Structures are given as C-alpha cells and as structure tokens.
Amino acid sequence: MKRLRQQWLSLIALSDNQIGLALLSLIAGLASALVITLFRLAIEFPVGNLLPIANSDDFEHLSHAARIALLCAGSLLLIAIFYRIKPERRGVGVTHVLQRMELHQGYLPKSNIVLQWFAAVIAIISGHSVGREGPAIHLGAGIASQIGQSVGLAHHRCGLLPEPVSPVPFQHHSTHPWRV
C-alpha cells in the first residue's frame, strides 16, 4: 500500500504529468458533486417535511408570523454559532474562496467548509436571503482543496485542482484570466 501511495504521489507531483492531475481533478469533482448534492438535500428535506411549503423557494406562502419566527430563530442560531468562532475563522462564501486562492495557494481549512455548510443550511431553511451558488462554490472548492492537501499536492497546483469539474472554474477564470 505504501508503494502504491508513493507511485501515486510521484504521478501527480511531476510537472509534465497531466494525467495524474486530471485523475485527481476527477476524484475532486465527484467528491464535490456528492457534497453539494448532500448540501441541497440538507435544505430540501427539512423544508419539504417540516414546513407547509412545496420547496425552499416558497417562503412567501407562509404566514407573516411564521416567516418572522423562522427568520428570528435562524438569526439567533447563526449569531450563537458565529459568536463562538474566532473572527479569523469566520470566512465563508465566494470571496473567502478567492482570497484563499490568491493569498494561501488554494488551501481552504476544514473548519470553514463545515461552517459554510451549517451556516448556509440554517440561513436558507430559515428564509434568509441567501443563494445556494456561493455556498456550493465554497463547498466544492473546499473539498477539492482538502483532497489536494491529503495527497500532498504542491501548493502551486492546489489552486488549479478543482478547475476541470467543480464550480470554481467560472469564478477563478472570470477574476483571473491570466491563469491557465
């Protein structure tokens, strides 16, 4: 097993070996897709089963009192969560991903991925004005980053890892056209 791992690491470490990086990107893309799908289910299941609405976009069909109660409960829960987290660990969303790509070679911490997951689920379920795209980008990039870190991918390649198959390419290329 150790020999297989060494062969794998040498395969992805070579700068001219695009097949190893492509395989790693495929694995990262599939893992990202799975996490994003679970994220969507974490939103749709409670909304469909606990609230009297058809889907998570039908909050306007709730009574005013129910909407206010949901928003207040979600807000208090988010405040409690973020209050306990150090300010430097609170980064979430697309801007956090772009900052980590630029200043930290694409390394995204696990704690921010977990925080993004739970905070976005709570915010969306409680009716806050939050889209699913930003959290999906963060989750996909975070999973790809964790996979790259776990196999010892060089920092100059970690920022490029999620590009072939996750939501990061659009954001990455739209803000950094000079990267290939």
Confirm whether 162 is domain-assigned.
Answer: yes
| 142 domain residue, yes or no | yes
Residue 106 lies in a domain: yes
- Asked if residue 109 belongs to a domain, the reply is yes
- With H, G, I as helix, E, B as strand and everything else as coil, classify residue 130: coil
Structure tokens at 3: 């020999």
User: Mind listing the pLDDT tens digit for each residue in 56-86?
Assistant: 667 777 888 988 999 999 999 999 999 999 8
How many other CB atoms are found less than 10 A from the CB of residue 49?
7
**124-173 residue pLDDT tens:** 989 888 888 888 888 988 898 888 888 777 665 555 554 433 444 444 44
Task: Please tell me the total count of domains within the chain.
Answer: 1
- Rounded to two decimals, the pTM is 0.75
Structure tokens at 101: 């790509």
Identify whether 21 is part of a domain. no
The band of 94, judged by pLDDT with boundaries at 50, 70 and 90, is confident
**Residue 13, domain member (yes or no):** no
Token representation of residue 93: 């969303």
Residue 143 lies in a domain: yes
Domain assignment of residue 155, given as a range? 31-175
Return the residue matching tokens 């930003």. 134
* 98 compared with 167, residue with greater pLDDT: 98
Angstrom distance (rounded) from CA 55 to CA 148:
35
